[in-house]
Amino acid sequence: MLITASRIHNGYQWLPPGTVIEVADDGSIIALHSEDAPLADVVHYDGILSPGFVNAHCHLELSHMKDLVGEGTGLMHFLQQVIWKRESFTIEQKITARHEAYDELLENGVVAVGDIANSADTLDIRALDRLHIHTFVECLGFTEERAQQMLDFSEKVYLQYTAQQSGDKILRQSIVPHAPYSVSPSLFRLIDAYDKDALISIHNEETIEELNFYKDKSGAVNDLLHSLNIDAAFFEPSGKSPLQTYLPYFSPSHPFIFVHNTFATAEDLQFAQDNFPAVYWCLCPNANKYIEGRLPDMDMLLQHAKNICIGTDSLTSNHQLCILSELYTIRAQYSGLEWGLLLRWATSSGAAALQMQDKIGSIEPGKQPGIVQITGLDDNNIRPTPKRIM
């Protein structure tokens, strides 16, 4: 099949006008042809063609909590609500919600997801075999004495995912820390040692409270821990940023995805990039707006971040699971950003962050990236919409 469009983004950049994509029935890219190649029966699409999107940070298992926590209440209140309410649903409600969320990702042109899991609930949607999935089994426990127990619990979940057979799509998993204020130093070290090459994802510097806690142990993190009956007496504030405190617990062999980064600084980015070979900064702007009402410092990120990718976070903190909507939110605030760059973050960069770049993320011969048609991107008056065509 031969297809073209007014503009084609290959995952890295815009292709020359008139480029034609030759694609097999199974979605594999066979070749790219220039405008002057003698070709017949080329199908022309309106708008833009792009590789399928990569959602580098999602929580499909929390899909049943949509609209349950109000907007703008701050991360600490948000987390309390999630912890208290996540189990007040029936198994059927949870199953229905995560299947609907899975379908929503597909409809919105997502081909791969980095999905956080605290339980084995999402084994069922991984078995559907329509999305590539890296499941990040999230380990948390702000305790020094019970750190090994916390890791043991996560390992039990992890082994259930490991035992699942892959079909046509990629299925992978790793054990990862939740966030700097929910993982003790001992637990950070145990997570590192469990698999020193594992892809690590962590909620990083999402709220100013996290920074206050590491600076001088002040602020609302104490209230959260207190409400959960967690004794934080062992914790000595480092006086440094969270990232610069916890990263030294990790071996330099880990690839990293830092998620949110709302309060990350240029020094944090430099520190991570100087000490680890593969570092990705994942932005979830709609969730940041929903929870904290604030976006990360894009000027700083553009200047210092080597790699940026995009996530939606969960339906608990977002009205939809749509990567294009995340790009739209960034651009609404930073109108100077080129769509070409934004699409790169959403495709090839996300694929590399999840270590799936050999298969997806770019329109190149031999890959099977999925192809998405985007209309409305050049019209400031309408919201662009994605549609999976392949």
48/200 with CB nearer Zn ion: 200
196/319 with CB nearer Zn ion: 319
At which residue do the structure tokens 């790219």 appear? Answer: 32
8/62 with CB nearer Zn ion: 62
Render the burial of 336-369: b for 16+ CB within 10 Å, e for the rest: eeebeebbbbbbbbbbbbbebbebbbbbbeebbb
Interface positions, 90-129, toward Zn ion (CB under 5 A)? none
32/121 with CB nearer Zn ion: 121
User: Is residue 138 involved in binding Zn ion (CB under 5 A)?
Assistant: no
Q: Least Å distance between CB 157 and Zn ion?
A: 17
15/116 with CB nearer Zn ion: 116
Q: Least Å distance between CB 290 and Zn ion?
A: 11
Q: Least Å distance between CB 41 and Zn ion?
A: 45
Size of the site for Zn ion (CB under 5 A): 1
Q: Least Å distance between CB 59 and Zn ion?
A: 6
292/313 with CB nearer Zn ion: 313
For every residue of 227-240, DSSP letters joined together read HTT---TT----SS
Query: What are the residues whose beta carbons fall under 8 Å from the beta carbon of 112, sequence distance 6 or more?
Result: 52, 54, 55, 131, 132, 133, 134, 170, 350, 351, 354, 356, 360
Report in angstroms the alpha-carbon separations of 126 from 114, 130, 171, 271, 355: 12, 8, 7, 35, 18
Q: Least Å distance between CB 206 and Zn ion?
A: 8
Q: Which tokens hold the place of 311?
A: 């996530």
Q: Which residue is nearest to Zn ion (CB)?
A: 313
Interface positions, 167-206, toward Zn ion (CB under 5 A)? none
Alpha-carbon torsion angle 32, 34, 35, 39, nearest 10 = -60
Quick one: which of 81, 288, 325 has its CA closest to 203? 288
296 to 315: interface string for Zn ion, x by CB under 5 A? -----------------x--
Q: What does the binding site for Zn ion look like in residue numbers (CB under 5 A)?
A: 313
